[in-house]
Amino acid sequence: MQGAAAGHRVIDGILQGMGLRSAAFIVTVYGDVVVPRGGVLWTGTLIEVCERVGISESLVRTAVSRLVAAHRLRGERLGRRSYYRLDASAQREFDQAAGLLYKAEVPSQGWQILHAPDLSEDAARHQRMGHMGGSVFIRPDRGQALPEGALLLRAPDPPELGRIGQFWDLSALHQRYLDMLARFAPLAEAGPAISDEMALIARLLLVHDYRGVLLRDPRLPQGALPPDWKGHEARALFRRLYRQLSPDADRWIGAHFEGHDGFLPETTRESELRLVELSSTTQ
Enclosing domain of residue 51: 2-104+170-278
Q: Which of 155, 181, 215 is the last residue of a domain?
A: 155
Residues 139 and 274 in one domain: no
With contact defined as beta carbons under 8 Å apart, do 15 and 53 qualify?
A: yes
Q: Which residue has the higher pLDDT, 283 or 169?
A: 169
> What CATH number is attached to the domain comprising 262?
1.10.10.10
State the total domains in the chain. 2
Residues 141 and 267 in one domain: no
CA dihedral 53, 59, 64, 65 (to 10 degrees): -170
Question: pLDDT tens digits for 184-228?
Answer: 988 877 666 789 999 999 999 999 999 999 999 999 999 999 999
Residues 218 and 89 in one domain: yes
Residue 12 domain flag? yes
Distance CA 166, CA 188 (A): 34
With contact defined as beta carbons under 8 Å apart, do 266 and 253 qualify?
A: yes
Residue 164 domain flag? no
* pTM score: 0.93
Is residue 266 over pLDDT 80?
yes
Which candidate, 270, 265, 241, places its Cα nearest to that of 255?
265
With contact defined as beta carbons under 8 Å apart, do 24 and 66 qualify?
A: no
Residue 119, judged by CB atoms within 10 A of its CB (0-12, 13-18, 19+), counts as buried
Distance CA 139, CA 130 (A): 6
With contact defined as beta carbons under 8 Å apart, do 207 and 242 qualify?
A: yes
Residues 85 and 198 in one domain: yes
Which candidate, 95, 134, 135, 96, places its Cα nearest to that of 115?
135
Residue 283 domain flag? no
With contact defined as beta carbons under 8 Å apart, do 249 and 203 qualify?
A: yes
Residues 17 and 73 in one domain: yes
Residue 263 domain flag? yes
Q: How many residues does the chain have?
A: 283
What pLDDT, on the 0 to 100 scale, is given for residue 274?
A: 95
Residues 141 and 187 in one domain: no
Question: pLDDT tens digits for 16-37?
Answer: 888 899 999 999 999 999 999 9
Residue 197 domain flag? yes
Residues 75 and 9 in one domain: yes
Which candidate, 36, 61, 35, places its Cα nearest to that of 47?
61
Residues 94 and 178 in one domain: yes
Distance CA 277, CA 76 (A): 33
Average pLDDT over residues 52-69: 96
Question: pLDDT tens digits for 116-144?
Answer: 999 888 889 889 999 999 999 999 999 98
Residues 121 and 145 in one domain: yes
Which candidate, 278, 283, 114, 108, places its Cα nearest to that of 206?
278
Is residue 1 over pLDDT 50?
no
